Amino acid sequence: EEPQPAAVPSCPLPGRICDVVRSERPRSCCGMAMAGFRTSKYQVPEWHRRNAGIYYKAFASSEQSERGRAESQHLMKTAAASAHRAQETSKTTLGQRLQDIHFWRVELQKEIMELDAETNLLAAQKLRLERALDATEVPYSVVIDNLECRERRQPPDLVIDEVERQLLKEADLIRDIRDLLKRTIIQATTQIRSNRIQKENCELDWSDKVQTYHIDDKCVTYCTDSTNVQFHPSSVKFEENASTPKSWAQFSHDNISSAEQEKLASVQLRSLINNIIHDASEDLRMQRAAVNEAFDNRCRELDDAKFRLERHLEQILKDIADEEANIVNLKKAIRDKEAHLKVAHTRLFDRSFRPNIELCRDEPQFRLISEVEELTVFLEALKRKLMESEQNLKNLEETRMKLEKEIAVKANSIFIDRQKCMSYRVRYPVDLEVASYK
């Protein structure tokens, strides 16, 4: 508020030299209005009185003028001092305001740089997620190919063994990891968008602060000698949408606080992404090791079963050869016994032609009959044994065929598990976490 000029005390006017009584005026000059029209001469007292009045008026005018000049000088000095103080105060206030603007501008700029750096780091993590998601395609295709290849196993090896259970578990694990990576990528994209929106808000606030700083900095340089100053009467008012210092500072504080919250959420999300990729890589590595171990165990079981079958096949082949030799021997023995039986039958037949009393049941007759009976028993036994041997040979041949078929089935299973599946699993990524950086 401008100070009021000090009032100059009025000094008392000098006393009148003479007083003219209105009633003593001559009748010839009864009024001042008729002075210009007076034709008669003034009287001496009247002349003195008139001069005294003129002196009084001149003195009063001079005193009033002197008092006005004194008041003007005082007012000019007071106004100059007040204007100088007001200008210096405004300049100091503008300087303090520049410091406040500079403080918030620096804070906003720092927050913008940090938020931009954090957004770039989060974008790099999002790229790692996308690369990790791409890297899961090969393991998933390997697992599906393994399952499809093992469907081509022949019975009875077409079983739900530990390998198939581990492969199904691995397929479910990869699907879960892919779903988790996709959800995390969406979350990272949303967080990056939020970071950029908040960064844009801070940049707009920072830009306003920079523009305001330049305006106030230019205002500080204005002085009475400036050539670019002029009257702007319409600017001497408060805008309806103008903010208060408290709301002005609170606006920047809220922007920085929101940026800090987004930055903290971004840092936590980056840490979560690291943990997700690391845990997914470890889970895949452990499951891959479990599947490989199951494959190794199954292949050893198949090798052992195939080896045992081959040993049995060797024995069966040896038994078949022995049985065939035995059949040959049995047939030869039967032919030999039939030759002996023919001799005995022929002797008995020839001796049946003995005449009359010579047809005697003598010892040779009994011996020949006994020989025939004995040979007949042996022949029956040899023929039964031959039939058994032939049946055994047939059974051995069937067993040989079954063993050969089983060996072929085992060989096919080994080929599928070892050559098709395990060799294809070499393409399996060693480490998903490492693949995310490639």
274 and 369, same structural domain? no
Q: Are the CB atoms for 344 and 371 separated by under 8 Å?
A: yes
122 and 66, same structural domain? yes
- The span from the CA of 8 to the CA of 229, in Å, is 34
Evaluate whether residue 17 is within a structural domain.
no
- Domain boundary (277, 295, 313) is at 295
Confidence of residue 11 (pLDDT cuts 50, 70, 90): very low
Of 414, 163, 418, 158, nearest to 307 by C-alpha is 414
User: What does pLDDT average to over the chain?
Assistant: 86
Evaluate whether residue 14 is within a structural domain.
no
Confidence of residue 226 (pLDDT cuts 50, 70, 90): confident
- The span from the CA of 28 to the CA of 50, in Å, is 15
Higher per-residue pLDDT: 8 or 178: 178
Q: For 81-121, how does the pLDDT look when each residue is reduced to its tens digit (9 = 90+)?
A: 998 898 889 889 999 999 999 999 999 999 999 999 999 99
Q: Please give the tally of structural domains in the chain.
A: 2
Q: Is the pLDDT of residue 146 over 50?
A: yes
pLDDT at 430: 62
316 and 261, same structural domain? no
For residue 76, give both structure tokens. Answer: 């000019």
Q: Is the pLDDT of residue 294 over 60?
A: yes
400 and 428, same structural domain? yes
- The span from the CA of 195 to the CA of 50, in Å, is 95
Specify the range with the lowest mean pLDDT, choosing from 234-248, 323-337, 360-374.
234-248
Evaluate whether residue 139 is within a structural domain.
yes
Q: Is the pLDDT of residue 317 over 70?
A: yes
188 and 322, same structural domain? no
Q: Is the pLDDT of residue 130 over 50?
A: yes
- The span from the CA of 396 to the CA of 398, in Å, is 5
pLDDT at 38: 53
CATH of the domain at 266: 1.10.287
Evaluate whether residue 5 is within a structural domain.
no
Evaluate whether residue 72 is within a structural domain.
yes
Evaluate whether residue 228 is within a structural domain.
no
Q: Are the CB atoms for 101 and 216 separated by under 8 Å?
A: yes
pLDDT at 429: 67
> Percent of the chain at pLDDT above 90?
58
Q: Is the pLDDT of residue 18 over 60?
A: no
Q: For 394-434, how does the pLDDT look when each residue is reduced to its tens digit (9 = 90+)?
A: 999 999 999 999 999 999 999 999 888 888 888 776 677 77
Evaluate whether residue 150 is within a structural domain.
yes
309 and 252, same structural domain? no
281 and 156, same structural domain? yes
364 and 344, same structural domain? yes
Q: Is the pLDDT of residue 31 over 80?
A: no
Evaluate whether residue 235 is within a structural domain.
no
273 and 373, same structural domain? no
For residue 38, give both structure tokens. Answer: 């007076």
Q: For 161-191, how does the pLDDT look when each residue is reduced to its tens digit (9 = 90+)?
A: 999 999 999 999 999 999 999 999 999 999 9
- Domain boundary (271, 295, 319) is at 295
Domain that includes residue 214, residue range = 56-223+245-295
314 and 285, same structural domain? no
325 and 397, same structural domain? yes
pLDDT at 5: 44
pTM of the full predicted structure?
A: 0.71
329 Cα distance to chain centroid = 84
381 and 281, same structural domain? no
